[in-house]
Amino acid sequence: MNVFLTIVNIVVLLLLAGGLYYLQRKKVSFSKRVFAALAAGIVFGFILQFVYEPASKVLANSADWYSIMGGGYVKFLQMAVMPLVFVSILSAFTKLKLSNNVGKISGSVIGILLGTTAIAAAIGIAAALSFHLEAVQITKGAPELARATELQTTFDQIKDKTLPQQVLDLLPGNPFLDFTGARPTSTIAIVIFAAFVGIAYLGVKRKQAEQAALFASIVEAVHAIVMRVVTLILRLTPYGVLALMTKTVALSDLDAIAKLGKFVIASYVALALMFIIHLLFITFSGLSPVTYIRKAIPVLSFAFTSRTSAGALPLNISTQKSLGVPEGIANFAGSFGLTIGQNGCAGIYPAMLAVMIAPSAGIDPLTPSFILSLIVIVVISSFGIAGVGGGATFAALLVLSSMNLPVALAGLLISVEPLIDMGRTALNVSGAMTAGILTSKARKELDTEVYNAPVNELKAEA
């Protein structure tokens, strides 16, 4: 019977996927299909919640099969991340789009990411204080205690790493190892390696033009192939979003969410306020926030459902390019945004946790010295946070330990962690795209005609 019900659930998902394919054949826009997939996944997930018990074996087996469509899509995106980052940045050098401006562009992108992270930390602090959130309000059950033990073990492995050592971790000691994504900072390391190769190309071009021209043609050929691979993957976005959203909703612990409703609401209020800050920055730069939202919906929807900033990178870069951001700046903003200044995971979340935990350690979170120290530490700790699952936890460990707060208490929200992480990831991606747009606008390199043009399918239909 369990096998039959599992097959029925799989067939229903496939029928929904068939409906998305029908919309594609009818030339329904990419953005609308992604949104339809998101809505269908939510509805179907709640239906599964209603039909089956939370611990149902049928539900677990069905979700496992759904991972082929959802998790497989994420894997394909992750497969393209490193080649895309390396070749795109190198291509920007061969096209002389960056030349001597690499330092200024990088500095601007990083400055915006860190500045918005400081604002995000302040918003997180305000949200925790406004909702009167305290760690003592949370019941410590078996899952929370197990998570606390796990976090303490993780902290013991990183507690002796100094800030200079963390900076060194950003550098590509072995770029071939970083191409495998073996380290949390591998993406930034590849950006740095690509920049070195690009600068070397510019030097060769001045002295050995023939060899430089050959190298440039090879880079452009590889770049064309990689972008075609990305295009093929992006076509799968609606189907990936459908499966990911269905699985997430179906397996969510609604009872735990209800018990911790105030913490979930406070988190999303903070995330929404920070997103509004992004829109205000875009507005003040003379651009339409409505246009930004329309073009950003697909990538934000995917980031929300997949909970991986790294997996969203190809769609992130495509979205920035559809907003008129030059390819080189889009790659720098997207890549740096994976491990530096994540507004959600490294900004709001650790700040809220610190305020919640402070009273249990006998510290008044309302004192100006505590608030100022917390914001500074959050910004510094945001360097090197991985854009994959677990990045927010790592950021929280760094911040809590620096503030001399008990790190084990960070495990108290384990039951609602996936739900909160969805919004955090979407905000991370929005922060990276905002940095790319503002940098391009400040340097007068943003193509406003492209920005204001109708939604162009992100080249997913090419």
- 107-154 pLDDT per residue, tens: 899 999 999 999 999 999 999 999 988 876 665 555 555 555 666 565
- Gap between the Cα atoms of 420 and 230, Å rounded: 28
Percentage above 70 pLDDT, the chain: 86
Q: Which two tokens stand for residue 4?
A: 């039959």
The SS3 assignment for 175 reads helix
- Would you say residue 184 has pLDDT above 90? no
- Would you say residue 300 has pLDDT above 70? yes
Q: How many helices (H) and strands (E) does the chain have?
A: 20, 0
The predicted-structure confidence for 15-43, as pLDDT tens digits, reads as follows: 999 999 999 898 888 878 888 998 999 99
- Read off φ and ψ for residue 59, nearest 5 degrees: -65, -40
**pLDDT band for position 460 (50/70/90)?**
very low
**pLDDT band for position 217 (50/70/90)?**
very high
The SS3 assignment for 403 reads coil
Mean pLDDT score, 419-432: 91
Which is higher by pLDDT, 257 or 25?
Answer: 25
**pLDDT band for position 427 (50/70/90)?**
very high
- Gap between the Cα atoms of 22 and 165, Å rounded: 53
- Would you say residue 215 has pLDDT above 60? yes
Q: What is the pTM of this model?
A: 0.81
Q: Which two tokens stand for residue 10?
A: 């799989």
Q: Which residues of 310-329 are buried (b: 16+ CB within 10 A; e: fewer)?
A: bbbbbbbbbbbbbbbbbbbb
Q: Which residues of 172-185 are buried (b: 16+ CB within 10 A; e: fewer)?
A: beebeebbebebbb
Q: Supply the pLDDT for residue 286.
A: 93
- Gap between the Cα atoms of 385 and 185, Å rounded: 7
Mean pLDDT score, 236-241: 89
If you classify domain 2-459 with CATH, what class do you get?
A: mainly alpha
CA 435 from centroid of its chain's CA atoms = 14
CA distances 226 to 323, 324, 387, Å, are 21, 21, 21
For residue 278, give the nearest of 419, 426, 447 by alpha carbon. Answer: 426
The helix or strand, by DSSP H or E, that contains position 320, with its residue range, turns out to be helix 313-322
**pLDDT band for position 100 (50/70/90)?**
low
Most confident residue range from 171-185, 211-225, 403-417: 211-225
Is 233 in contact with 74 (CB distance < 8 Å)? Answer: no
Q: Which two tokens stand for residue 289?
A: 């926030």
Which is higher by pLDDT, 459 or 178?
Answer: 178
The predicted-structure confidence for 323-359, as pLDDT tens digits, reads as follows: 999 888 888 888 888 878 889 888 999 999 899 888 8
List the domain boundaries for the chain: 2-459
